[in-house]
Chains A and B, each alone.
Chain A
Amino acid sequence: MPVFSYVTDAMVQSNVPQPTAERQRELASTLGVGGPTTGERLTVDRLREEIDADPDDSFVSMGEAIRNDLSGRLDADLLAAALPEIVAQVGRVPEVREAGIPGGKTGPEALYRGLVEPAWRVYHHLEDVGFFESVEANLPAFTPEHIAGTARELVRAEPLSTTLEECGFDERERMVLMMNVANNDTRLSRWTPTREIPEGVEFEVEYVPPLQQRAMGGALLWVQALDEHLWRKEILITDAILDDVRWDTKAMLGGLYLMALAAHDIAAGADGSLTDAQLTAALTAGTAVTIVNQEELMQDAFWITEEKRKPSEASGREEELPWQ
């Protein structure tokens, strides 16, 4: 089921995700604020005015624990270098969409892969230093309470919002990212922290990476796969699919950026700019966005049903078949 409708207004330059009124009401309800009035579109500023300004104590203590746990293990220079590079890749998303399907006679040229190169470097570093294990150990599962708390902290945290704006996400897109976190508690709850997978399940739990690693690594793998997928399946690919790819990829880069930003803040020690609560929110939101949008990308661009495919010049579509 699509989470967002898309506006096709000529005033909008490309398919910008449009939060539906229902989704805005859902977000408002999660945050405990008034919903949008008729014709109103919720904004982060409007939400910030209405919610309690004091941070959640549990978010403070979780952030503090993660900082303490990872103190001295992260490479501040590597992370500092990666952050603007990720931002630069967010900025490249429109040109990649413009290119559409990678060229190449015997295999795809690198197009989408470039978008995640800086984030891969961050991921490998975080994996090497045990970042994901530490974060998973100190954060709760995606309970409705934790998700609501994260959403509230995202609204409160002006630095996070400003950073995303600088990263290339406009107001509407930031709201959509917020909703990806706040309006998906059931969906996110299926992504269980590894430590909470029941004892003795049907697979080897020791082979299941920490939740945040699955989120971040999964997002990277999906974007990385786009070159080959779009090239190999070119006969099925429509502009609508490519538009969905554009947003899903951009959103995942936003989530990856939040993860990298949080890691850098920890590495920066006293020079960090996020509060402990904001750190917790950045990690949770980054995880949530990468999860939600990798699932969206999977459904939008990889699971290409008859209804979604570019019609074949030779065989047409399913409805032409005599089923009876």
Chain B
Amino acid sequence: MAIEDDKAIKAASDTIVEETELGYQVFNAPDEAVLHQTDTDRIPRYDVTQEMLDESGEDEESWLMFSKNYEAHRYTPCDTITKDNVGELELEYTMEIGANSSMEGSPVIVPGDPPVMYQTNGPSHVKAIDPREGDVLWSYTFPAPEDAVLCCDDNNRGVAVWKDKIYMTTLDSGVQALNRYTGEEEWYASTADHAEGYSATWAPIVWKGMLFTGSAGGEFGVRGFHCAYNAETGEELWRINNCPEEEYVGDSIEQSGGTNWMTATFDPERELLYYNVGNPSPDFNGTVRPGPNKNTCSTLCVDPHSGEVQWAHQESAHDIWDYDSASQRMIIRDLDIDHLDYSGDVVYNGGKTSWTYTMEPETGKLLVRGQPMTQQINMMTMVPHVEEERDYVMMPGLLGGNDWQPPTYCRETGLAYHKTLNTPHEIYWRNEEYRPGEKFWGGIVEVEPDEEVVPDDYNGHISAIVAVDPATGKVEWRDWIDSDRYLWGGTMSTASGLLFAGTQNGDMIAYDAANGERLWEYDLGDKAVSGDPVSWYDPGTEKQYVAIQVGGSGFVGRGPRGDQLAVFSLSA
């Protein structure tokens, strides 16, 4: 069936996403949800159990959550594709998604005969796909309201799956549960009022019937939170504000920011939830929000049963550069840190600061702060007011370092792999004129500063893929990637020691994860590859597949929009 005949895809395609003075807004979205069922009988009927989710990291036939396992490794144990045969990896097909929208997501793969892929993209659109054939089995478009304002694009980064349901966050700061066999609506929960600036774009996670989801809108003066829902009914179980009232002066807490706009990480052994917390509000004028602004720009560890905060590790106290700590955390088991005589689990992440952080999982004590992954120039100094005659170009810029791009941890190499930016940004702060709902920085941001003010030490490389040893913090290798666009999307690694990543130049690359040698490259065209690679083995076809979404994303340097899903394969 041509995608033009799919009502839900057409509804998504007809939806226009425009950058307005308020940020990003969606126009011409359907007034009501649109579901189009094509061949729902092809979807095998069985529950995705908790046991399957627990074992997801060890299962080569599935990719059951945003980063494959609760520990967020983005690592497949499948080893059909190896360093020796990756040169034979071929494009199985490309598939037109039908929405010229942000393409930042990770598809989820439920194993079966056939497997079923659940693929999302902006604006709040999801499909069930037979990934063997590239056939759409059902598709669904959520009615995104026009008055929802988005800081950075209309992203949707994926779904959670549990039993007979999938769960997608929605641009109006909601969670929509759908029957995974039919696409029919099960329940909807609004986590906050989108009219106040809240939105939702990440993939939630589910553990033992509890769904965990966060908050976005840090550029709109909201107060960030995280909350848990009963995944069966949609009943809210608990909710916490990420920023504690007692750590703020007076009413400044009311617009604290500190949202949680990426997927949480879960430690099933300790039963602890770890997630990122974003920037304080307003972004650059710190004088109206004195103090360290806890727990903004932090890793937050909470009890999944109650939401009680266990600890917070702050990366940028009283942040004035938008160094929100965005990327998903990882849990790395049994790490030996020789210089500290430490052996045990750690929590690990890369920051917009361009540092990596290795933390003790029960206290949040910093064990290792890694070497800078990219350049740091004029870093962590006071931002000038517009009236000051001082140029201020900083690196990392306000998009990092490692922004939201989800990294992978490869068990074979013991290294983590980060997509990073190396872009100078010029900023000033001021009290800006405000219009309701408008995106605000509290200052001026020049993402392309004049050449004469760019620091002489800037090496001119806009981005890099960087391998880091979490035990030492050493940058083991780095592949600079030059372009006039920004590098978005995630990485993925395999049991055979391969690293997969797309680039903003339209390439899909397989590296030797040990040393950064490019072993295979595929030119997917002129669109940026901003999605996150996933992989699975299908015993029915006896092939290992690698899939990635192709198309731009973000509010800057994203390149032309695209709407492709590329699926590669190699026979066993």
* A interface with B by C-beta (< 8 Å): 106-107, 127, 186, 190-192, 197-198, 200-204, 206-210, 213-215, 217-218, 221-222, 225, 229, 231-236, 294-295, 298-299, 302-303, 305-306, 309, 312-316, 318, 320-324
Shortest 8 CB-CB contacts between residues of A and residues of B: A218-B290, A202-B440, A221-B291, A209-B250, A217-B249, A303-B380, A314-B472, A302-B317
User: Within the assembled complex, what's the spacing in Å between the Cα atoms of A118 and B519?
Assistant: 64
- Nearest CB to that of A302 among chain B residues? B317
* Contact indicator A323/B459 (Cβ below 8 Å): yes
What residues of A have a CB within 8 angstroms of the CB of B448 in the complex?
Answer: none
B366 CB contact (under 8 Å) in A201, A218, A235, A295: A235
* Contact indicator A204/B221 (Cβ below 8 Å): yes
What residues of A have a CB within 8 angstroms of the CB of B362 in the complex?
Answer: 106
* Contact indicator A225/B294 (Cβ below 8 Å): yes
* Contact indicator B475/A225 (Cβ below 8 Å): no
* Contact indicator A201/B433 (Cβ below 8 Å): yes
* Contact indicator A202/B251 (Cβ below 8 Å): no
Q: Is B288 positioned at the interface, with any CB of A under 8 Å from its CB?
A: yes
What residues of A have a CB within 8 angstroms of the CB of B516 in the complex?
Answer: none
* Contact indicator B252/A202 (Cβ below 8 Å): no
* Chain B interface SS verdict (over half): loop
What residues of B have a CB within 8 angstroms of the CB of A235 in the complex?
Answer: 366-369
Shortest Cβ distance from residue A186 to the other chain B in the assembled complex, whole angstroms = 8
Shortest Cβ distance from residue A324 to the other chain B in the assembled complex, whole angstroms = 6
Q: Is B434 positioned at the interface, with any CB of A under 8 Å from its CB?
A: yes
* Contact indicator B434/A324 (Cβ below 8 Å): no
User: Within the assembled complex, what's the spacing in Å between the Cα atoms of A218 and B434?
Assistant: 25
What residues of A have a CB within 8 angstroms of the CB of B441 in the complex?
Answer: 202
* Contact indicator B290/A214 (Cβ below 8 Å): yes
User: Within the assembled complex, what's the spacing in Å between the Cα atoms of A206 and B254?
Assistant: 10
B288 CB contact (under 8 Å) in A203, A313, A320: A203
User: Within the assembled complex, what's the spacing in Å between the Cα atoms of A318 and B373?
Assistant: 10
User: Within the assembled complex, what's the spacing in Å between the Cα atoms of A316 and B372?
Assistant: 11
Q: Is B376 positioned at the interface, with any CB of A under 8 Å from its CB?
A: yes
Per-residue contact bits, chain B 287-313, to A (CB 8 Å; 1 contact, 0 not): 110111010000000000000000101
* Contact indicator A309/B369 (Cβ below 8 Å): yes
* Contact indicator A207/B369 (Cβ below 8 Å): no
* Contact indicator B433/A217 (Cβ below 8 Å): no
* Contact indicator A232/B317 (Cβ below 8 Å): no
| Most chain B beta carbons < 10 A, residue from A186, A204, A314, A320 | A314
User: Within the assembled complex, what's the spacing in Å between the Cα atoms of A201 and B368?
Assistant: 40
User: Within the assembled complex, what's the spacing in Å between the Cα atoms of A153 and B388?
Assistant: 29
What residues of A have a CB within 8 angstroms of the CB of B474 in the complex?
Answer: 314-315
User: Within the assembled complex, what's the spacing in Å between the Cα atoms of A313 and B369?
Assistant: 11
- Given A202-B442, A218-B249, A315-B474, verify A207-B379 contact (CB < 8 Å): no
Interface residues of B in 355-384 (CB under 8 A from A): 362-372, 375-376, 379-382
Q: Is B438 positioned at the interface, with any CB of A under 8 Å from its CB?
A: yes
- Nearest CB to that of A214 among chain B residues? B290
What residues of B have a CB within 8 angstroms of the CB of A234 in the complex?
Answer: 365-366
Task: Knowing that A202-B440, A202-B442, A208-B251 touch, tell me 13 more A-B residue pairs with CB under 8 angstroms.
Answer: A197-B288, A197-B431, A198-B433, A207-B251, A209-B250, A214-B250, A214-B288, A217-B290, A218-B249, A229-B314, A235-B367, A314-B337, A315-B370
What residues of B have a CB within 8 angstroms of the CB of A231 in the complex?
Answer: 365
* Contact indicator B371/A321 (Cβ below 8 Å): yes
* Contact indicator B371/A318 (Cβ below 8 Å): yes
Per-residue contact bits, chain B 466-489, to A (CB 8 Å; 1 contact, 0 not): 000001111100100000000000
Offer 12 A-B interface pairs, CB within 8 angstroms, sorted by A: A200-B433, A202-B434, A210-B250, A214-B249, A214-B252, A234-B366, A312-B472, A313-B339, A314-B339, A314-B471, A315-B370, A321-B475
Please classify how large the interface on chain B is, using the bins under 10, 10 to 19, 20 to 34, 35 or more.
35 or more
* Contact indicator A316/B371 (Cβ below 8 Å): yes
* B interface with A by C-beta (< 8 Å): 221, 247-255, 281-282, 285, 287-288, 290-292, 294, 311, 313-314, 316-318, 337-339, 362-372, 375-376, 379-382, 385, 388, 431-435, 438, 440-442, 457, 459, 471-475, 478
- Nearest CB to that of A197 among chain B residues? B431
Shortest Cβ distance from residue B434 to the other chain A in the assembled complex, whole angstroms = 4
User: Within the assembled complex, what's the spacing in Å between the Cα atoms of A236 and B290?
Assistant: 24
* Contact indicator B292/A225 (Cβ below 8 Å): yes
User: Within the assembled complex, what's the spacing in Å between the Cα atoms of A314 and B470?
Assistant: 11
User: Within the assembled complex, what's the spacing in Å between the Cα atoms of A303 and B368?
Assistant: 16
* Contact indicator A202/B438 (Cβ below 8 Å): yes
Shortest Cβ distance from residue A202 to the other chain B in the assembled complex, whole angstroms = 3
* Contact indicator B372/A198 (Cβ below 8 Å): no
Shortest Cβ distance from residue B171 to the other chain A in the assembled complex, whole angstroms = 22
What residues of B have a CB within 8 angstroms of the CB of A106 in the complex?
Answer: 362-363
User: Within the assembled complex, what's the spacing in Å between the Cα atoms of A201 and B430?
Assistant: 9
What residues of B have a CB within 8 angstroms of the CB of A222 in the complex?
Answer: 291-292
- Given A202-B434, A235-B367, verify A315-B472 contact (CB < 8 Å): yes
* Contact indicator B250/A217 (Cβ below 8 Å): yes
User: Within the assembled complex, what's the spacing in Å between the Cα atoms of A294 and B249?
Assistant: 14
User: Within the assembled complex, what's the spacing in Å between the Cα atoms of A244 and B336?
Assistant: 34
B376 CB contact (under 8 Å) in A215, A298, A318: A318
User: Within the assembled complex, what's the spacing in Å between the Cα atoms of A202 and B220?
Assistant: 9
| Most chain A beta carbons < 10 A, residue from B316, B434, B472 | B434
A204 CB contact (under 8 Å) in B254, B370, B432, B438: B254
Shortest Cβ distance from residue A230 to the other chain B in the assembled complex, whole angstroms = 11
What residues of B have a CB within 8 angstroms of the CB of A298 in the complex?
Answer: 292, 317-318
What residues of A have a CB within 8 angstroms of the CB of B247 in the complex?
Answer: 221, 225
* Contact indicator A127/B250 (Cβ below 8 Å): yes
What residues of B have a CB within 8 angstroms of the CB of A198 in the complex?
Answer: 431, 433
User: Within the assembled complex, what's the spacing in Å between the Cα atoms of A232 and B294?
Assistant: 14
User: Within the assembled complex, what's the spacing in Å between the Cα atoms of A305 and B287?
Assistant: 22
User: Within the assembled complex, what's the spacing in Å between the Cα atoms of A208 and B474?
Assistant: 42
B372 CB contact (under 8 Å) in A206, A208, A225, A318: A318
What residues of B have a CB within 8 angstroms of the CB of A107 in the complex?
Answer: 311, 363
What residues of A have a CB within 8 angstroms of the CB of B371 in the complex?
Answer: 315-316, 318, 320-321
* Contact indicator A232/B291 (Cβ below 8 Å): no
* Contact indicator A201/B432 (Cβ below 8 Å): yes
- Given A201-B434, A207-B255, A221-B290, verify A213-B313 contact (CB < 8 Å): no
* Contact indicator B249/A191 (Cβ below 8 Å): no
* Contact indicator B318/A208 (Cβ below 8 Å): no
What residues of A have a CB within 8 angstroms of the CB of B287 in the complex?
Answer: 190-192, 214
* Contact indicator B434/A200 (Cβ below 8 Å): yes
User: Within the assembled complex, what's the spacing in Å between the Cα atoms of A309 and B369?
Assistant: 10
User: Within the assembled complex, what's the spacing in Å between the Cα atoms of A191 and B292?
Assistant: 16
User: Within the assembled complex, what's the spacing in Å between the Cα atoms of A306 and B441?
Assistant: 27
